[in-house]
Structures are given as structure tokens and as C-alpha cells.
Amino acid sequence: MSLNRRRVAIIGAGFGGLYAAKELARHPDRVAVTVIDRHNYHLFQPLLYQVAVGLLSPEDIAYPIRSIFSANKNVTVLKGLVRSVNTSRQTVQLSDFSIPYDYLIVGCGVQSDYFGHDDWAKFAPGLKTIRDALYMRMRILNTFELAERKSDPGLLNFVIIGGGPTGVELSGALAELSKIVLKNDFRNIRAEQASIYLIEAGAHILPGFPAKLIAAAEHALKRLGVTIMTNTRVTNITGNSAEIESSTGKKIIQSQTVLWAAGVKAAAIPDFFLHAHGFEFDNKMRIIVNADLSFGEHGNIFIIGDMAHVRQEDGRPLPGVAPVAMQQGRYAAQRILADIKGKTLPDFNYRNKGNLAVIGRNAAVANLGFLQMKGFAAWLVWVFVHIGYLIGYQKKALVMLNWAWNYIRKKSSARIVFGCEDRDVGHPLPKCPE
């Protein structure tokens, strides 16, 4: 084992950080890697919405980071919060000690963007963490429980803000929860009569998808009873309603369950880097990076994933999706290895393998570039792609069995409300029955 290994620190164990670490782990003679994350698990974010509606448990989509690298002796995993990065001393500062680095990869992810209305967050939770998903699940299920004992039809109005893949998938899953899973569970209400509104500020849902697939997704959602409102923006959210505005005027939807899927912005980092020069941000607080994913004059620091603004040929940034982060993480690692060897690599080039969105049972849309699919065939593609990206054979098997069991029984078991209040979640829950 070489004593002259370069030190690589990776902040964030999301898709980008994980794929960078896995690439570097294959070269124990050249690099010593330290992975730092605030959690001790890697989260498969694309399936968070299934935790939110009770189709999966948190353990199904989270995997211990240490287990991933248990066989890689050149990888150290640390659970902690990064306080700052000193670029002149080349150290990462945690609360109680600092970590030196020769190369740094930063992929801290994103947070929900309320477009200047941060006060809406307590009424309309986003979906970025397991805590968010569990809180959202409690909000949804507690709303049905409250409606069972109160004759208020407005309680069964659910509003999802944002018509991208997350909003579409959440709308479809929520519709199936009310119309299939909960259909026979209550006596004083008919859960299947819940009204679900999908609000999108743009001209259509699923921006970036071909028109044919957008139409197919809209048709599938409407069959599930979802009301789609495009060219409609939110003007206010309270604990009991959502105010929206379109070309036809303003409207208030009475609802105690408003869910946010409208936008994200990079994790706040104005004081994250010390002595760093060359920062340039876009309107989502993403760092505008060089073509090799480094930023400014710092050739040994790479920004990846949702934090990075990588300009494409048309001037638009790459989307903040898992495949982009995976490819960027792998590229940053390869860039570091090439630099250690005294070699160079071409600039980063994203290879788009397509887009997927699932609406419900047997209903999905898939744009694979060379092939566009909808319905059951697209749903099968979605299932196997997501199973394939899960970490660990046990996770793949468990999720597959859960999906198969829920598919056959038309039920889900992950519908337990653990207590009436969970202050650790950080959001006000509806009050429990007296």
C-alpha cells in the first residue's frame, strides 16, 4: 500500500458523492477517501414519495453508508455536519475537528424552494428527506382520521404544488391510496371521494417530456380522478387553504393538506467556503462550475449533483436528477485519478439515458430517447430501473416483494401513524382527537 496516497474528502453521500466514492474505492494505492454525511445512510430519493403514501418503509430505501464500503479499507465514513471549508489550508471543518484534503468533492444536495415564501413551509411540506416523507405520511393519514370524526368535506381536499415528476408521481400515488388502499377502511367518510388537485405554473405537467407522453400522463391522472390545473400559480398557503391564480381569476381551495413539489434550490452555502474566490451562483443558489466540474480557480475542488450549475450547449443547466449526479460523481473521481497520474480528461459530457415517471398501477411514461413508451410497458421499465439502482441485493428483493404483495392485495402495510405529534420532525401536525 502506497504511503503517498492523495487525500480525497467527499461532502455528501447522495448519488453524486456515493458514485464518486465507489469509483475512488477501486484505487486504494492512489487515494484515501473520507466520506462525510449528516446521516449514516444513503437515501434513494426517487422513491421517497412511496414512503410518504405508505407503500414502502424508510428502511426499504435507505442503506448504511458504512456497509457499502465495509470491504474498502481506503474509505473512511464520518457522520457529522460540515461547518466550513478552508480552501487556503485545504481543510474541512466539522464541529469538533478538521479533515485535511488534497482534493475535495462537494455534493450537498438541495432543499425545497418556496420562491421567497419560506413561511409556507410549515403548511406545505416538501419531500427531500426521510423526515419529510414520514411527516407527509402523518399529515395525509391524520387528515383521513380527522375527516372520519368531522363532517367537513374540505378535509378531503389534497393539493400538490408542482407538476414535475415528483408532483405527478405523488398525485397518482395519493389517488390510489384513497381510491384503492383506504376504500373500505372508514365508516363515516368515503375515502375514494377525496379530491386531489395538481397545480402547475407552466403550460403543462412533466416539462421536458415529449407531448405524446405528457398527454398520456394527463389521461392516466384524470382517470384516477386527479384535477390538473396548469398555467396556475400559488399566491398564498395557510393551514386551511391554498390560494391559486390563473387567467380566469383567483380561487381558494379549502385544504389542510398541501404538499410541495414545485421547486428546489441548492443547500445554503454562503459561509461554507472560506478564502474561496470565483464563486458565481444562479437564481437557485447553484454554483456555476467550469466544464470539468471545478469552480473558479480551484482546480482541486469539484461541485457535483444538485449544487452544480453545468451549462449545456443551449445555455440551460443540467436537470437536478439522479442520473446527472451519478455521472458527475464518477467523472469527478476519474478526473482526480487522471490528475494524480499526470493525465487529463475531456470536459464533462452528460449522456441522457431518458426520463421516467410513474402515475400508478400499470401506468407510467418513459422517454428513452430512441423509444417512447406509456402504460404497462413503461411501468415495467420504471419498476426494473428503480430496482436496479437500489443498493444491495436484499433491498432489491425486499422492495420487489413489497411491490408485488401490495400489487396483488391492493393494500399497503406501512400506514402506521406513530404518535400525534413528532416535534423532532420540525413541522406542526394536525392536533389529535381529544
Catalytic residue set: 169
350 is a domain residue: no
> How much is the average pLDDT of 383-387?
92
Residue with cell 421536458: 208
Q: What is the distance between the alpha carbons of residues 286 and 364, in angstroms, rounded to a whole number? A: 30
426 confidence band (pLDDT: 50, 70, 90): very low
Q: Are strands 62-64 and 41-43 parallel, antiparallel or unpaired?
A: antiparallel
Indicate whether 269 pLDDT > 50. yes
Residues 284, 418, single domain; the answer is no
CB-hemisphere CA count at 13 Å for 366?
21
Is 0.85 surpassed by the pTM of this model? Answer: yes
Q: What is the number of alpha carbons within 13 Å of residue 176 lying toward its C-beta?
A: 25
Three cell numbers written together for 289: 462550475
Instruction: Examine the domain organization and report whether 188 and 141 are in the same domain.
Output: yes
Domain shared by 165 and 187, yes or no: yes
Q: What span, in angstroms and rounded, lies between the C-alpha atoms of 10 and 105?
A: 5
Does 389 share its domain with 252? yes
Residue with cell 412511496: 50
pLDDT (0 to 100) of residue 431: 43
| Within a domain: 386 | yes
| 430 found inside a domain | no
Residue the block writes with cell 475531456: 346
pLDDT at 423: 39
127 located within any domain: yes
Closest CA to 93 of 81, 105, 102: 81
Could you tell me if 186 and 281 lie in one domain?
A: no
Identify the CA nearest to 128 among candidates 286, 261, 270.
261
Last residue of one domain, picked from the residues 340, 372, 402: 340
More confident residue, 426 or 147: 147
Report yes or no on 47 lying in a domain: no
Boundary residue ending a domain (340, 374, 394) = 340
> Around 215, how many Cα atoms within 13 Å sit in the side-chain half-sphere?
4
151 and 86 in a common domain = no
The whole domain housing 365 covers 118-262+361-425
**234 with 136, same domain?**
yes
Q: What is the CATH number of the domain that holds 225?
A: 3.50.50.100
Same domain, 248 and 146: yes
Contact between 361 and 53 (Cβ < 8 Å): no
Count of alpha carbons within 13 angstroms of residue 80, beta-carbon side: 18
Q: What is the CATH number of the domain that holds 21?
A: 3.50.50.60
Q: Into how many domains does the chain fold?
A: 2
94-106 exposure pattern, b = at least 16 Cβ within 10 A, e = fewer: beeeebebbbbbb
Question: Would 395 be classed as within a structural domain?
Answer: yes
Claim to verify: residue 234 and residue 87 sit in the same structural domain:
no
Same structural domain for residues 132 and 243?
yes
Q: What is the pLDDT of residue 434?
A: 36
pLDDT in tens, 119-168: 999 999 999 999 999 999 999 999 999 999 988 888 999 999 999 999 99
Residue 80's pLDDT band (cuts 50, 70, 90)? very high
408 has pLDDT over 90: no
